[in-house]
Amino acid sequence: MTLPPQTTSARPTGVHATARITATSVGEATAVPVLAGDGPFDVRWNHPCGNQARVCIIGAMSAPSAATGCA
In this prediction, residue 2 carries a pLDDT of 65
Cα separation, 26 vs 65, in Å, equals 27
CB atoms within 10 A of CB 39: 12
For 14-69, how does the pLDDT look when each residue is reduced to its tens digit (9 = 90+)? 777 888 889 899 888 888 888 888 878 788 888 888 888 888 888 765 555 555 55
User: What residues form DSSP beta bridges with 41?
Assistant: 59
Quick check: 54 and 47 in contact, CB under 8 A?
A: yes
The alpha carbon of residue 5 and the mean position of all alpha carbons in its chain are separated, in whole angstroms, by 30
Q: Which pTM value belongs to this model?
A: 0.54
